[in-house]
Chains A and B, each alone.
Chain A
């Protein structure tokens, strides 16, 4: 009789030891997700940085959209400069934007007229000039919603002493929400009214060229096949480069298969030592826009 209780107690004890060991080992294991998060937080804490970004969209290997962005941001000086080049595979177009002395200056690169938008300076300093990352509760909610998906992220040491964090998802690994949003995005960009809408706007507004003219018109079997996220983290634990590749497949009306690849490549550099470019408007044609209610979309 006594033996029975000893056996039961022993099994219970082994279970407890096993739980402690696996729990501790799970907590100690280096996760790609945590490595990435800490590098992103460091980027948010930097007072200034240079961001170089490229977005490329290809359809069966043919480029249908490319956009280059270089942005120099300095939170301490409340200044920023950005240059954007957008091309649809046949034409390219460059725009510049500056934020200096409490105003935004836009240069569409075509008309030679500089647009000036007064922002009143304070608008940009919503959090008292302290630039911080997403609030802690948002981070917890994202963590909890990610669930075990977090564990699919890997991390490996690189030759320069930094880290490479990756999250590669394909097929059934892709959450249904991501599949639905990605598929809707591509079909929206390439179909019906939205395409026409973009085109119509482009006619009047040189800031919005017709991006989507060369996109394939997908109508059938649209699905997100692959999502690959890679992040280079430098030895001082700053995020240096981030690459996202999304592969979406589908068929057009004639039944031809298309593989649309959206690549976003972002380089970050010049942490705490970036000085944004400034523009001298003396002697230039300037149009001042005063639009209190409808400020630029990024000012909200």
Chain B
């Protein structure tokens, strides 16, 4: 019964996201970008005049692009929709009168965000693998398992960034303000390694490409675990920080 309200509201939150035109638009972009990149590569391969085998690189190239840029931006907008947007539209009150605790309401929204990340990662993986198979079939097959693992672990930094966006969203009553600060934080964090390289290890945004550590047998278990702990600790702090604010907020 207790879990039932969480699950029910999770489905509810996902449906609310899905009916928005923006959600469908971003998902379409997620499907189109790898396809466009593959088409560009096919053109390059053809114009080069000899058989470069670039298709096998499409999944990793796209994962790098999406985890660095597109997914964090999509997540920021989704976090704003889930929290600030609903508070501003005064529809959050409707959810609060239902028989569900605030903690569960919060959890169901975070779960919806997690599902959003999973769907996007899966969509990028499927499109880029399909593109890779079309470009050069046999070369791609041997890389399927490796790229699937890389996409799976990429969930961790994306979830941490999503939660940081949720944290920022709690502070704002206007969507524009929340999104503005998120983009500012994102840009500043991306510039940090160029200005203060020593500080970069502390920033969750410097670990968005940690899937690199999981391809092949490259990195030691200690290194993987270390980065994993950084990502988990950010997620824990952002989740609890947001929840504390969400619990106290007057609606």
Contact = CB atoms under 8 A, between A and B. Distances in A.
Interface residues of B, number: 58
A144 B209 CA distance: 12
Interface string A14-49: 111011011101110100000000000000000000
B10 interface: no
B213 A148 contact: yes
B56 A172 contact: yes
B212 A221 contact: no
Contact of B226 (A12, A22, A154): A22
Interface stretch (B78-86, B171-179, B180-188, B216-224): B216-224
Contact of B56 (A23, A144, A223, A251): A223
A219 interface: yes
Interface string B195-208: 10110111000110
Contacts of A168: 218
A187 B197 CA distance: 37
Majority secondary structure of chain A interface residues (helix, strand, loop or mixed): helix
B227 A26 contact: yes
Contacts of A140: 193-195, 197
Interface of A: 4-5, 8-9, 11-12, 14-16, 18-19, 21-23, 25-27, 29, 140-141, 143-144, 147-149, 151-152, 154, 168-173, 176, 179-180, 183-184, 187, 191-192, 218-223, 250-251
Interface stretch (B21-29, B87-95, B116-124, B142-150): B142-150
A179 B240 contact: no
Given A27-B198, A169-B216, 5 more contacts: A8-B243, A19-B233, A23-B230, A148-B227, A191-B50
A187 B213 contact: no
Nearest to A192: B49
Nearest to A10: B240
B58 to A, nearest CB: 8
B54 interface: yes
A162 to B, nearest CB: 21
A15 B240 contact: yes
Given A26-B230, A143-B197, A220-B51, A151 B236 contact: no
Nearest to A25: B226
Nearest to A218: B50
Nearest to B58: A176
A170 B217 CA distance: 9
Contacts of A250: 51, 53
B52 interface: yes
Contacts of A29: 222-223, 226
B146 A172 contact: yes
Given A12-B241, A26-B226, A148-B209, A183 B60 contact: no
A26 B220 CA distance: 13
23 contacts: A12-B241, A15-B240, A16-B233, A18-B233, A19-B202, A26-B201, A26-B227, A27-B201, A29-B223, A140-B197, A147-B212, A151-B219, A170-B216, A172-B56, A172-B215, A176-B57, A179-B53, A179-B54, A183-B53, A220-B50, A221-B51, A222-B50, A223-B52
A184 B52 contact: yes
B54 A180 contact: yes
Nearest to B103: A4
